[in-house]
């Protein structure tokens, strides 16, 4: 089950059925089924609290993914700062919706094992995000 909730910020407008089908299709492309994925939309300040409390990081970020996957089933909690998604969209010159979709699938790709800590893995993450976004449109 894929759940979309909010914490400390208004819920974004989403076509939850369409997004859920898309996430399931992308997971299947990588050989995974979807168990329980919880998206928690929050503010920058809440994201910073989570980052400090659970990861020991003292900086803002757009996404924090907690992976509870087992075998070939994706499970996790994905915190997304809508404040940062909005500012990132402005920075790269795309719509908020497009940037939000990129971040939604970014978390799923993390659950499939895709990293983004090196220039090479970051480039691969972006390539996979672009492929997934093409499936949505």
* Structural domains for the chain: 2-136 (3.40.390.30)
pLDDT at 36: 98
The pLDDT of 37-41, averaged and rounded, is 98
pLDDT at 18: 97
Under a CB-based contact definition with an 8 Å cutoff, are residues 82 and 40 in contact? no
The pLDDT of 92-99, averaged and rounded, is 96
Cα 71 to its chain centre, rounded Å, is: 20
Residues with Cβ < 8 Å from 133, sequence gap 6 or more? 98, 101, 102, 105
What are the tens digits of pLDDT across the range 13-24? 999 999 999 999
Q: What is the mean pLDDT of the chain?
A: 96
pLDDT higher than threshold 90 for residue 128 = yes
pLDDT at 8: 84
pLDDT at 137: 78
8-state DSSP, 30: T
State how far the Cα of 77 lies from the Cα of 109, in Å rounded to an integer: 13
State how far the Cα of 62 lies from the Cα of 79, in Å rounded to an integer: 8
What are the tens digits of pLDDT across the range 53-92? 998 899 889 999 999 999 999 999 999 999 999 999 999 9
């Amino acid at each position: 089950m894929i759940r979309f909730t909010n914490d400390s910020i208004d819920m974004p407008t989403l076509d939850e059925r369409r997004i859920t089908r898309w996430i399931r299709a992308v997971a299947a492309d990588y050989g995974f089924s979807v168990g329980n994925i919880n998206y928690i939309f929050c503010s920058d300040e809440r994201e910073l609290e989570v980052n400090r409390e659970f990861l020991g990081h003292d900086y803002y970020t757009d996404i924090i993914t907690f992976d509870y996957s087992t075998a070939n089933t994706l499970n996790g909690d994905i915190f997304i700062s809508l404040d940062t998604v909005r500012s990132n969209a402005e920075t790269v010159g795309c719509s908020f919706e497009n940037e939000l979709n990129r971040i939604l699938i970014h978390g799923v790709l993390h659950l499939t094992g895709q990293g983004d800590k090196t220039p090479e893995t970051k480039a691969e993450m972006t390539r996979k995000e672009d492929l997934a976004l093409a499936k949505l449109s």
